[in-house]
Amino acid sequence: MVMADLEARAERAASRRGFLIGLPAYVYLILFFAIPLLIVAVYSFATRTSTGATALSDWNLDAWARVFSAAPARVFVRSFLLAAATTVLCLVFSYPFAYWIATRSPKVRSLLLVLVMIPFWSNFLVRTYAMKFLLGSEGPLSIISQLLGGEPVRLLFTVWAVLIGLVYGYMPFMILPLYAALERMDWSLVEAARDLYAGGWDAFRKVTLPLSMPGVVAGSVLVFIPALGAYVVPAILGGGSPPYLGDYIVLQFLTARNWPFGSALSVSVMLIMLIATIFYFRRGGRTL
């Protein structure tokens, strides 16, 4: 009896200690994350005055009504398609690449991985600028194409430049989960398939591909979500027109001066991402 009592007290003490250890972090996040999030939600119901200032009164649903109207819908669809295209392209190019690395000897694998890590850890902004530099109509690519008798390269400010920039930026985020899934796979199953006279392609289609699915899903989510809310790449390579989701939201705070609408949009985007992430976890994603 005494033992049980002592144990219970020890457990409560441990529990309290655990809570206290993490308390500074929890307080910080509540103060500087949860509360700001609440404030944004509140702002989405505020009024926008005729000069673009925000009045925290006359609560209304105008901003939310606007979120579901035609113009933002166009922006959502545009961004969605762009994110989808980015994801598909990343997948198509990354899968063979990850497969190639996974099928090398361990030492070679390490080296190849490091070579992928370097761009991965390099400053994202700089990598995007490198693309802009390369694709300009006065840039190196253009000079080369003109030397070869062709036209100067006119990719900047088009949706193609944005797409290239997004794929360039996010491919490592597709490669790594794919590689992880392939590396962890039980390859003896592939061998078994081969032993059963399955051709290379069949073995791949029926064994490898399904087994690597978690990696495909993980990589797709890891690319799609940030691509959907992308701001830096479209701004630098796309010239800001037509606006994608990220730029559209920023616009509401910078020039359009419609904070309630911008807040409603921000909350919407976050909800979409939240749902996508939950979907990913439900489908058996183990790590985030």
Partner 1 sequence: MSVVLALTLAACSGSATPTTVSGGPVTSGDGDGTCEVDQTDGELNLYNWSDYIDPDLIAAFEEEYGVDVVETFYDSNETMLAQIQAGVVYDLIVPSDYMVAIMIEEGLLMELQADALPNLSNLGSEFVGMPYDPDGTYSVAYQWGTTGLGVNLSVVGEDFTPSWSLAFDPEATAAYPGGVSLLNDARETVGAALKYLGYSLNETSEDALQEAADLIAAANVTTFDSDQYPDNLVNGEVSVSHGYSGNFFTAFDETENPDNWAYVIPEEGATLWTDTMAIPADADHPCTAHTFINFLLDAENGAQLTNWTFYASPNEAAEEFIDPEILEDPAIYPDDETFALLEAIEDTGDDEILFTDYFNIARGG
Partner 2 sequence: MNEATTPRPLVDRLLAAHGWLVYLFFYAPIIVLTVFSFNDNSRVGVWTEPSLRWYRAMIQNDDVMRAIRNTLIVAAVSTVVSVVLGTAAAISMERYRFRGQRTLDGLLYLPIIIPDVTMAVMMLLFFTQAFGFLEGLTGIRLSLGLGSISLAHIAFNISFVAVVVRARLAGMDPHLTEAAADLYASPWQTFRKVTLPLIMPGVAGGALLALTLSLDDVVVTSFVTGPGSTTLPVYVFGLVRREVSPLINAVSTAMLVASILLVAVSLGFQRRSAPVATTSETDEGDTDGPTAPMAGRVSRVGADAGGV
Contact 172, 116 (CB under 8 A): yes
Q: Which is nearer to partner 2, 1 or 99 (CB)?
A: 99
Enumerate long-range contacts of 273-277, CB under 8 Å, 24 or more apart: 273/225, 273/228, 273/229, 276/221, 276/224, 276/225, 277/221, 277/225
For position 229 contacting partner 1 by CB under 8 A, the verdict is no
Burial class (CB in 10 A: 0-12, 13-18, 19+), 281: exposed
User: Token pair of 127, please?
Assistant: 């990598």
Angle at 248 between CA 263 and CA 129, to 5 degrees: 125
Q: Which of 53, 55, 73, 115 binds partner 2 (CB under 8 A)?
A: 115
Interface positions, 29-68, toward partner 2 (CB under 8 A):
29-30, 32-37, 39-40, 43
Our measurement of the distance from residue 272's CA atom to the centroid of its chain's CA atoms, rounded to an integer in Å, reads 12
Interface positions, 150-169, toward partner 1 (CB under 8 A):
152, 154, 156-157
Interface positions, 70-109, toward partner 1 (CB under 8 A):
71-72, 74-75, 78
Partner whose footprint covers residue 154, from partner 1, partner 2, none (CB < 5 to 8 Å by kind): partner 1
Cis bond before residue 242 (omega within 30° of 0): yes
Q: Which is nearer to partner 2, 60 or 122 (CB)?
A: 122
The residue among 153, 152, 164, 155 whose CA lies nearest residue 128 is 164
Based on DSSP, count helices (H) and strands (E) in the chain, helices before strands. 15, 2
User: Token pair of 280, please?
Assistant: 């990913």
Q: Taking contact as CB under 8 A, which single stretch among the options 1-9, 59-67, 69-77, 262-270 is the one that binds partner 2?
A: 262-270
Q: Which is nearer to partner 2, 1 or 260 (CB)?
A: 260
**What is the Cα–Cα distance from 265 to 161, expressed in whole angstroms?**
26
Q: Which of 96, 239, 278, 281 binds partner 1 (CB under 8 A)?
A: 239
Interface positions, 176-215, toward partner 1 (CB under 8 A):
none
For position 253 contacting partner 1 by CB under 8 A, the verdict is yes
Partner whose footprint covers residue 18, from partner 1, partner 2, none (CB < 5 to 8 Å by kind): partner 2
Give the CA radius of gyration of the chain. Answer: 25
Q: Which of 241, 282, 286, 288 binds partner 1 (CB under 8 A)?
A: 241
Q: Which is nearer to partner 2, 1 or 3 (CB)?
A: 3
For position 251 contacting partner 1 by CB under 8 A, the verdict is yes
Q: Which residues would be at the binding site for partner 1 (CB under 8 A)?
A: 24, 28, 31, 50-53, 71-72, 74-75, 78, 136-138, 152, 154, 156-157, 239-243, 248, 251, 253-257
